Structure formats: structure tokens, C-alpha cells
Amino acid sequence: MLALRLLWRNWRSGEVKLLAAALMLAVAVVSGIAVFTERLERTLVQESNMLLGADLIVRGSQPHNPEWSAQAAEQGIEQTTAVLFSSMVYAGDHMHLASVKAVAEGYPLRGQFDISTVPFASRPDQIIRASGIPAPGEVWVDSRLLPLLHLELGESLAVGDYELKVTQVIIREPDSASPFSFMGARVLMNMADLERTQVVQPGSRVQYQWLLAADNTALTAFAAWLEPQLSKHERLVDVESDQRGLGRTLETGRNFLLLAAVIGVLLAGVAIALAARQFSSHHVDQVALMKSFGVGAQRIRQLYLTQLLLLAVLASAAGLLVGELIQRIVAESLREVYQIVLGSASFYPYVISFASGLVCLIFFALPALWFLPGVPPLKILRRELKVNAAQLWLQIALAFAAVLLLIVLFSQNLSLALSVIAAISGVLLITAGLALGLLQLTRRITTNAGSIWRLALANLQRRREQTLVQIVVFATAIMLLLTLTIVRTSLIDEWQLQLPDDAPNHFLVNIPPHDVEAVQQMLDEKQLEREQLYPMVRGRLTAINGSEITDEQRAASGVFNREANLTWTDVLGDDNRIVAGQWWNSWQRKEEGIPGVSVEAELAQEAGLVIGDRLTFSLGGLILEAEIASFRSLDWRSMKPNFFFIFEPGALDNYSPTYITSLYLPLEQKSFINDLLRRYPTMLVIELDRIIDQIRTIVTQVSNGVLLVLWLTLAGGCLVLIAAVTSSIDSRKQESGLLRALGSPRRLMIGSVWVEFSLLGGLSGIIAVIGAEILLVSLQYWVLETPIRPHYLFWLIGPLAGALLVGALGAFSCRSVVNTPPAVVLREAS
Amino acid sequence: MTSNVMVEARSVGKTVTTFEGALTILNQVSLRVTAGESVAIVGASGSGKSTLLGILAGLDLPTSGEVILNGHILTALDEEGRAKVRAENIGFIFQSFQLLPGLTAVENVVLPLELHGIKNSRKLATDFLGRVGLEKRLHHYPQQLSGGEQQRVAIARAFASQPRILFADEPTGNLDSATGARIIDLLFELNREQGTTLILITHEDRLAARCERRIELASGEIVSA
């Protein structure tokens, strides 16, 4: 095949290597990110599915239709069942309203139970991962049940009419957030024992769960088939419907990674375009020669297109390999450092990545090459003949089209793509403007500088178009790296920083009023850092100024759809601040019998509330009307008990509250929970430390991936520089040969090359730091809501690192210019 | 007699538009070259030699007049049609050799053969390189060859396609006189062997003298033929 032979010869002569490298990089960036993101996403979904215990659950008040089971089995879907109910459990004279879960073999389909023979175990060596479910006749229970019932492991526990032996305590379980688990301690038993307990009778309040798991496609189809057949008592639950917050986080994370990928591709694209321009300018003569041989334009177009396609396929395949390697390295490091094993990716990201190689070629390279077949044959005789090369604006327009297409391809979201294009254009314009300004400034400053500087600046000025492209490219890459380095630390550390070391890590809930003083005393004796004990009453907001809650208000906040925790206090929490109205010490009731309430400011804004509005609450069927006295801003991340509604003291006296507080419990004192629960069996302890750990792991995981991608982006920037230098190498050689023939020392050449590129890198660094600071300030102000801090070190590191990196790279790329003897240079150039 | 005419120009004119108005490069040029003939087009710089060569070879079109090459009216054909005529009839030798720097000597010779789909193109190319005395330089790149050697590769490339007409544009222009003389010998020797029609541009008298006929151009017009 002639095209293949021609391609091989072009490869050998080095003319397509840069093009191939840039294409490969583009595909590697895309595939690395796309495959890694999908694996991560799948893993996160699976991890969250572990919280659910399955990929999909049918929850209902009746057992599910057995025919559905047969249908599911036919499609290779894993299934099992669980029955959840509240029931009194007894041990000797003690009893507790437990949250019982009877599970069948195979439960859970996703995730595992962590169990132990040591109550409240926290050390890894005390905890084991259960390989099944409790054997018939045995139960596993929450640690807190043991002190509640004065029970030891190995002793018997009665559930209904049946006595079961307690063999393990549950440290962690999937689906811990199911409705019955909040108040009562968990008792996990084998489904085979359920009937013997005689607990579940007709009319009992029971939740039947049918758990399903399979690979996505089979399950999606099955769910679509099943959903219309469900009765109104049955509900299909997946992670997305169960945990909307996580779904959104995943989406945001994916979009962020996608942006990084697009910027990587864009940089590689610039390198591709430059390499293609260089390739085409080298091939003008070859095409003219071929035409003089009598080869027609059509044939020439076909020959070049085939070569390019072959190149794209080979480079994309290599890119896929590199991308695969990268994502595997990251995945492996995650496994080693965080013990997180990522699932495998589907075929789709590979296909997309491969396609993006073709997109890059078509949109970045082809415009520069399209005119080639139109080169007039006469060019072979008359070198001065002008050739109509592609217009720069057309190339830029096509580049944007490529980015648009790629984002749409990835996210199937046109508005996202358009806003990215707008943002990129804005950044590019501003960066280019800054770069131009700085270049002018440098020229003024160095008017009287030595010849090395003058030569270097002359080079930068003469190739102004290229210089601008390179500064923009490097500034963008360095800016992203700097920003992410900070954001990454910010996300993990600043959040931690904000949480003092002794930030509360446990919530104590459901403390009866008569135990309040004693609990306070017990905590204070231990000298534990704690918050005040807030009384708490559950109530639902039913009307505003006498009108029922509207659908818009319901949509604005979840608070309107469920019962909220209401409290009263005269002491404003540290993290609470009155933003409008007055706190109780200066507020006066307008009407006797209508107490004041302070509302959380964001909620008030979303619901359109104003000071003085009347709110109607329903508390267990009793109606309470209150007037808005103030709005409060507060920090939900403070890990302290916080409330949407705080009433004036005494307003809720008649509604039998329980109390809540939060405290910091060092790891070594964890067994204190045991004592606490033994003394106050009805109290509930929520362990936040475990949740915080999990969040930190996920954030670290994702940001590491992004950082790696940004390094690849910087590699893209380097390729652009190499491409630009290579395209100017002939004229550089000629100039250098001439200057050296005229007696300029080699030192001048080397020096000017270093100065030229270091200056380019330094300017990029300065722009990058300015950009990064603006980005960071916006992020800190609007997103992270952390205090704004300038990063002084950046102002040193950014320009310096830029100057060093780009200077060295430029000097390396130009080594043939300064190292070749002038005679050879002049002969080659002629 | 007409069937023996290989190239014919009838009242060929070429005018280009410049900033200073229309500029006539060729004016009413008519000539006939018969098969197997060797013709030198001579003239001072700017006399229109290269333009005429380009038009005769179908690389360019005249503003007026007609060019007929081996029975094909080039001026009536589009670029694709002219390319076909070139492929079937024409070979070129250039002043600046026009070898592709990334290809070895043999690959440079092979390229047009491959493009024309000629079988055994590599063997043919090797043979011709042997005939120009470069059998030991097959795998050298142009920059590893001297000027004379590079022009010999170009000659091998031109003759390997066995064209009916060979156009040579100052074939010795970039060579010293001794090397130039050897190249002239080689060119005419192969030309005789192959029976090719040769049209060359030169301002070297000794090269023009080897041709059977000499056409002199001045200011775009034939002043002697």
C-alpha cells in the first residue's frame, strides 16, 4: 500500500513524529481521564450501593411478586431479600425496642458487614469483614445493645417468641440509614428464623426489601420493565434516588475532570495544528513535484488523507495504551495508599477516546493540510509562487468547533459545552492581552540591555504570533496546576483546618429531659469538649402567614417536605450570627401567645420569608404559631448541632422534648460510649469520625487523578513549544549561521536562546499566577467559603518554574541551532 | 509530418498583472519540436525561458494561444487532464534537483514509479541508478550526496519513468563546470539511448551547443530559432 509506504518514509524523516506525539497525547489525556473517571464513578456508585446493600431495591409493605424473581433470575440478576421491622427484644429483665433486620442468604449484594467480638471496636485488628450472614439461631447486634440489655456476647436474646444467641457485634453495615435503624439498635438475624419469632403478623408494620444487583445494562432494562408493574405500596430505590447529594457530587466531579481533559486536548490540539502547519509547509514542494510527475489533485488528496488516517489510528492506539497505563498507575496507587479497588470500565470511554483522536486530526490538523493538493505544479519551477494556505481564523474557528464537539461527545450537554467555550475564549483573550502588554513592557525595560537580551527580545517580537500562542498555552497549563495544587490542599486541609482538632466527632441524640443534668455531669467529669445540650422537638412547617406551603417553596428546600428539628435557646451558638431582625434579648412579642422564631438565613431566602412573617408548625398533631424574629447565618460544616428554626426560650415547653449535643471523643476514649449507653440506654450515638474519614478518602482520590491529568496538560504545553520551535528551526538556523559567520560568539547564541525562552516561561508564569489568584479568590469566596488568603510563594514559584522549565525546554529544542557549525547551517539552510 | 510533432506552441502569450499594470512575459511564441529532437531554449534572465518551459510542459497555462503535446491540446484540458498527459509523456530535471530530503536515492527514484503504479519499480529504479553510476549510493540521503550525485539521482528519476519528452530547467546551473560537463554527457547519452525528446533551458553555451536546435528568447519573444 503506497500510502503506508509514504507514511513510513515521512515518519522516518521525522516529519510526522511531532504530529503523532501530539495526537497520542490528546488521546492519552482523554482516555486516561475518561477511563479513570468511569472506573471511579462506577466504584463510587458501587460504594454508595454498598450503603444501599444492592444496586437497586424494591421496598414495599408486602413481599414482592415471586414471578418477578423468576424474571430477574432469567436475566442473570443477583437477588436476595430482607425484612425490616421494629420489635421489642429481651435479655433477662431488660428490653429494648430494636430495629430488626432478617436477611436471606446472599445479603448484602453490595458491600459487607464489618463485625467484631469486641463491642465498639475501633482497631483494625479487632474488626473482621463478615463472609456471610448470621447462622440460623444466631444474631449479630449493634454494640450499644449490649450495655442497653446488660448482655454479653454468647448470651441469649429473645426476639418475639424465639431465643437467639448473640455471636458478633456489628461495626459497620450496609443500608444503615434505613428507616427503622435510627432509633433502635440493630439486630441482624437469619431469614430462616423469622417465622419462629412469630413477630411478623398480618398488619404488622414491616418493610420488605427485594435487593437486586447486576451490571448496569441488564439492571437498567429490568428496572424499566419492573417500574410500571409496582403497586403503590412499592417503591424502586437506587443510589440516585436514595442519595441525591452524592449524585450531584459525582456529576460535578465528572464535569471538572472533563474540563481538565478538554483543556488537555485543546493544548495537544494546538500542538497538532502547529505540527500540521509545519508538515504542510514541508510538503508544498513534494506536492508540486508529485504534480509535475503527473499525479492529479484528487489522487494527492487521497494519498495524504489515507496517510493521516493511518497515522491517526496508530497514534490513537498508542495514546490508548499510554492512557491505560496512566490510569492503571493511578488506580494502583489508590489501591496501595487507600485500599480502594476500582472497578473496571466499560468499552465506551475507550471508543470515545479513540474517536477524539480522529476529531483532533480532522479539526486541528486537516485545515492546515487541506490546501496541499491545490498547490500549483508550477511551484516546482517558480519557488516564489504564493500558495493559498488555510486562514488562521478558520483554524481557530475549527479548533473551537472541535472542543465543542468533544464536550458534547463526553457530556451530552450542549449548554455546558457552550459555556466552556465562552469561558475558554474569555480566558484566552485576557491571557493574550496580558501577554501582549507584558511583552511591550519587557521591551521598554530592556531597551538598553546587552546584545543577548536584544537578540532574544527581537526573536520574541518577530515571531509574535507564535510567542503569544506559547505564552497563552503555558500560562493556562501552569495556572491550572497552581490552582489545583491549592484547591486540592484546600479541599482536604482547609476543611480540616477549619475543624479544630477537637471538633465534635460524635452526636448524642435522644437524651430524655430528666437525664440532661446527669449526662452533662458525666461528660464534664470526663473533661470532654462539648456543645450545650439543645432541647429538640420534631415538627413540620405547614403554613406561612396562614397560607399552605406552595409547590415552589417545597421545591426550594427539603425542610418543607419533612419534619424538622425545632429547638429553643437563649444562647446563640458560636457559629451562628444574626443577619437580620433581633435575638431574644432585644426582641419583643407583638402579640401574646405568639412566640418568636429565628430562621436560618438561606432557607428564609429560598422560601422568600421576611421578618414578621407568621409560621405555622404541626408538632405531633398540635399546632404552634410563631412570628419570625430574626434570620441567622450558620456553618453547617461546624459539626455542631444546628437548627433551621430556633424558638424563644419556653416556647416549646409543652411539647416533651428530647435533648441533643455534640462532643469530641478522642479515639482512645471511644469505649466511653459503652459506659454512656449502659447508663442511659435510650440515648443514641452517631459516630461522625467514620463519615469524615470516608469523605477525606474520596476527595484525595479524585484530586490525585485531576492533578495527574494536569501534569499531562503541561506535557501538552511542552509539545506545543517543541512544535513551535521546530517550525521556526530553519529560519533560526539561518540567522544563527549568519550571525556566527559574521563573528558572533557561540555564547551569544546560547545565551539569547536561554533568555528568549526563559522570558517566555517567566511571562507565562506571571500571567499564570495572576490567573490562579483570581480563580482561587473566586473559589474561596463563592465555593469553599474559606477566608481569602494570597499565596505569596506562588509569585516566586510560578514565574521561576515557568522560566526554568520553558527556558530549558527551548534551549534543548534549539540545540541543533547552536551546536551545528555555521558552515553546515548555512549550506543546509540554502 | 504533423504526427511527428511532439510539442507545438501556437502564438502563445503570457501576461501577468502586477502593481504597475499588465506585464507581458511571452508574446506570440510559436514553435514546434519533433519527436526525438533536442532543443535548447536560451536567453538572458527574465527573457521568459522558465515561463515558456512551464507552459510547454503543461505546468502553467498561457493567457493566449495553444499548446499541443503529443496530440493533446493542453490548453483545452483542466488541471487533472494535464496531469494525466504529464504522467504519460513527461519527465523533468530541475536546476535545484528537487530531491525529497527525507527519502534515500533509490526511494527518490522509486516515488514517481510507485505513484504511476509501475510494477517492479524498485528494480527499475536500482537499474537506472546503476546506469548513472550510483549503484553504491542507493541508500544515501540527498544531503549525503554531492551536487553532481544529486543531479544524477534526478536524471535517473526522470529517465526511469521512460518519458517521451524530457524537460530540463538549467540542469547544470547549480554545478561546477567539471561536474556540469559530466552531467551533460550523461544526459545526452541516456537521451540517445531512450530516444527521448529533450527540451532544456540553459544559459550555458556548451550545453546549448550539444542540442540539435537552439531557440533564443528575448523579452518574451523568439529572436532566433
**Is pLDDT larger for residue A774 or for residue A50?**
A774
Q: Is A374 on the interface with B (CB under 8 A)?
A: no
* Cβ contact B92–A292 (<8 Å): yes
Contact A376 B50 (CB under 8 A): no
> Which stretches does DSSP call E strand in A214-255?
234-238
What pLDDT, on a 0 to 100 scale, did the predictor assign at position A79?
92
Q: How many CB pairs under 8 A join A and B?
A: 80
Cβ within 8 Å, pair A378-B54: yes
User: What is the per-residue pLDDT across B32-81, written as a single tens digit (0 to 9) for each?
Assistant: 999 999 999 999 888 888 899 999 999 999 999 999 999 999 999 998 89
State the pLDDT at residue A177.
Answer: 47
CB of A566 closer than 8 Å to CB of A538: yes
Residue A364, min C-alpha distance to chain B (Å) = 24
Residues B83, A378: C-beta atoms closer than 8 Å: no
Give the three-state DSSP class for A59: strand
**Most B-contacting residue of A292, A304, A820, A828 (CB-CB within 10 A), to test interface:** A292
CB contact under 8 A, A291 and B83: yes
Helix (H), strand (E) at residue A464 = helix A464-489
Q: What letter does residue A347 receive in the DSSP assignment?
A: S
- Superfamily per CATH, domain B5-224: P-loop containing nucleotide triphosphate hydrolases (3.40.50.300)
A570 touches A584 (CB < 8 A): yes
Side-chain half-sphere exposure of A653, counting CA atoms within 13 A: 6
- Backbone φ and ψ for A359, nearest 5 degrees, come out as -60, -45
DSSP labels, A92-132: TTEEEEEEEEEE-TT--SSS--EEESSTT--SGGGEEE-SS
Q: Is the CB of residue B205 less than 8 Å away from at least one CB of chain A? A: no
Percent of chain A with pLDDT over 90: 12
Give B101→chain A minimum CA distance, Å. 8
Q: Which residue of B has its CA nearest to A1?
A: B114
CB contact under 8 A, B60 and A14: no
Q: Is B25 on the interface with A (CB under 8 A)?
A: no
Q: Chain B residue with minimal CA distance to A287?
A: B100
What is the model's pTM? 0.65
**pLDDT tens digits along A524-569:** 888 887 888 888 887 888 888 888 887 777 766 667 766 788 888 8
Is pLDDT above 80 for A204? no
A324: left (phi over 0), alpha (psi -120 to 50) or beta: alpha
Measured CA to CA, the distance from residue A319 to residue A179 in angstroms comes to 49
Q: What residues in A contact B85, CB-CB < 8 Å?
A: 294
B103 in reach of chain A (CB within 8 A): yes
Residue in A with minimal Cα distance to B154: A289
Of A643, A639, A646, A642, which is closest to residue A664 (Cα–Cα)? A639
Q: Would the pLDDT of B1 be above 50?
A: no
pLDDT digits (tens, 9 = 90+) for A334-388: 666 555 667 777 888 899 889 888 888 888 888 888 888 888 888 888 877 777 7
Q: Is A295 on the interface with B (CB under 8 A)?
A: yes
Compute the average pLDDT of residues A607-636: 86
From A13, A293, A378, residue closest to B60, measured CB to CB: A378
Rounded distance between C-alpha atoms, residue A54 and residue A212, angstroms = 6
Q: Cβ A378–B79 below 8 Å, yes or no? A: no
Q: Do B84 and A294 touch (CB under 8 A)?
A: yes
Answer for the pair A169, A142: CB distance below 8 angstroms, yes or no: yes
Mean pLDDT of chain A: 80
Is residue A630 pLDDT above 90, yes or no? Answer: yes
